[in-house]
Structure 1
Amino acid sequence: MLIAHLSDPHLRPRGVLYQGLVDSNAMFEAALRQLEAMVPAPDLVLLTGDLVDEGGAADYAMAAELLGRIRQKLVVIPGNHDEREAFRACLGRNPFVAPSGPLHAAVGDAGAVRVLALDVTVPGRHHGEMDDAACLWLEARLAEEPERPTLIMMHQPPFESGIGCIDAYCCRQGQRLAAIVSRYPAVERILCGHIHRFMQLRFGGTLLVTAPSTTTAIALRLGAGAVPASFVEPPALLLHHWREGTGLVTHWVPIGSFPGPMPFF
């Protein structure tokens, strides 16, 4: 089973640049072309939040047009730049979009690996929260199939990365998530976005990875008091490959055209 994982496209209305500088729409279209060219094609596509940048109707109209190109089952959760009800309206025909409340979803019919989409966003705020309702929902879903290989997807990562400007907006009460996950060894990965960089760590007895943005990368500045910044680094997506007997392998896949193939390995 192949699962493509994109994040943080920050789409804008047609002809409008992200932050007035970067063509996020064109960069997401490049990511879609990469998906379309993959052989074999992914079985499932995940998008871990910040679908759009400002949450307006024109942003979501652009998002609906671009997402319509994805042939696979698509699971999308909101990020802190999304507006929950406009997001819901944009994706209302998607079977994995809840009709009210947080946009949690359990996807168990897409292949060998189950996906639990956990909406930890706090409307009107930039941080996430593992509140009582999120904890109860996640525990209940994990308990339904405790032995089945499972991915948990969420927007804000529940840890501090060392990049101070983004750590202020992490998912708070992450220790509650770690405690739940530690009781379910079948959780293969926790998949996050938000941080616009690839990171990996042990968390709650499993592996947690953050997907890079398809647009800009937050500067890797780990010094105390570092000035916040972003770069147009090579964009990328993650590809999670499940095989019986091997388990889940996660690949970092750069987006673009590169020299090759060459006759050696």
Structure 2
Amino acid sequence: MLIAQLSDPHLRPPGVLYQGLVDSNAMFAAALDQLASLDPQPDLVLLSGDLVDEGTEAEYAQAAALLARLRVPLLVIPGNHDCREAFRRSFVHHPHLPASGPLHFAVDGPGPLRVLGLDVTVPGAHHGEMDAAACAWLEARLAEQPGRPTLIMMHQPPFASGIPFIDPYRCHGGERLAEIVARHPSVERILCGHVHRFMQLRFAGALLMTAPSTTTALALRLAPGAEPASFVEPPGMLLHHWRLETGLVTHLVPIGSFRGPLPFF
């Protein structure tokens, strides 16, 4: 089973640049083109939040037009730049999404894996929150199928990355999430977005990964008091490949055209 993870496209209305400087729509279209060229094709695409930049109807219409090119199932959660209700209306044809409240979901397959979408966004704020209701929902879903390999997808990561200008906007209450994950060894991966970089760490016995953005990369500035900045680095995606004999192997895949293939390995 092959799962592609895209994140943080920050789509804008047609003809409008992200932050007035970057064509995030064209960059997301390039990501979708690269997805379409994969052989074999993914069985599932995950989109881990910040689908659009300002949460407007025009942006969601642009997102729908671009996502219509996908020929494989899509699971998507909102990020802090999304508007929860506009997001819900845009994906009303996704029957697994609830009609009210946070946009949590549980989907079995395709294939052996289960995907839990955990909506930790706080409307009107940029940080996430692992509150009591989110904890109860997640605990109940993990208890339903304790032996099934499970992915948890959320937008804001529940840890401090060391980048001082993004860490205040992480998912608060990460210790509550860690307590739940530690009780459920079926959790194979926790998959996040938000930080516009690839990061990986051990979290409560599971692997936690953040996907790069399909547009700009957050500056990797680890000095205390570092000034916020972004770069137009090569964008990327994650490919999560499940095989019975190995479990889940994750690949970081740059998006773009590069020299090759060359006749050696």
Whether the TM-score (by the shorter chain) exceeds 0.5 is: yes
CA distance in 2: counterparts of 1:115 and 1:191, whole angstroms: 10
CA distance in 2: counterparts of 1:257 and 1:147, whole angstroms: 41
CA contact (8 A) 1:238 1:253 kept: yes
- How far is 1:176 from its partner? 0.4
Matches within 5 A, 1:179-258: 179-258=179-258
Match of 2:86 in 1: 86
Match of 2:72 in 1: 72
Give the count of matched residue pairs.
265
CA distance in 1: counterparts of 2:96 and 2:68, whole angstroms: 15
Q: Give CA deviations for 1:24-69 in whole Å, capped at 9, x if unaligned.
A: 0000000000110000000000000000000011111101111111
Match of 2:107 in 1: 107
CA distance in 2: counterparts of 1:17 and 1:107, whole angstroms: 34
CA distance in 1: counterparts of 2:69 and 2:119, whole angstroms: 24
Matches within 5 A, 1:124-163: 124-163=124-163
Q: Give CA deviations for 1:53-102 in whole Å, capped at 9, x if unaligned.
A: 00011111101111111111100000000000000111110223221110
- How far is 1:235 from its partner? 0.2
Gaps of 5+ in 2: none
CA contact (8 A) 1:75 1:96 kept: no
Q: Give CA deviations for 1:6-38 in whole Å, capped at 9, x if unaligned.
A: 000000000000000000000000000011000
Normalised by the length of structure 2, the TM-score is 0.99
SS at match of 1:32: helix
CA distance in 1: counterparts of 2:184 and 2:252, whole angstroms: 26
Which stretch shows the higher mean deviation, 149-158 or 109-118?
A: 109-118
Match of 2:264 in 1: 264
Match of 1:97 in 2: 97
CA distance in 2: counterparts of 1:61 and 1:105, whole angstroms: 23
CA distance in 1: counterparts of 2:58 and 2:210, whole angstroms: 28
- How far is 1:166 from its partner? 0.6
Gaps of 5+ in 1: none
CA distance in 1: counterparts of 2:198 and 2:192, whole angstroms: 10
SS at match of 1:168: helix
- 1:37 paired with 2:29, answer no
CA distance in 2: counterparts of 1:110 and 1:125, whole angstroms: 34
Match of 1:48 in 2: 48
Matches within 5 A, 1:54-65: 54-65=54-65
Over aligned residue pairs, what C-alpha RMSD do you find? Answer: 0.6
- How far is 1:226 from its partner? 0.4
Match of 2:118 in 1: 118
Normalised by the length of structure 1, the TM-score is 0.99
CA distance in 2: counterparts of 1:209 and 1:165, whole angstroms: 19
SS at match of 1:41: coil
CA distance in 1: counterparts of 2:214 and 2:96, whole angstroms: 22
CA contact (8 A) 1:50 1:194 kept: yes
User: Percent identity between the aligned chains?
Assistant: 74
Q: Give CA deviations for 1:172-192 in whole Å, capped at 9, x if unaligned.
A: 000000000011111110000
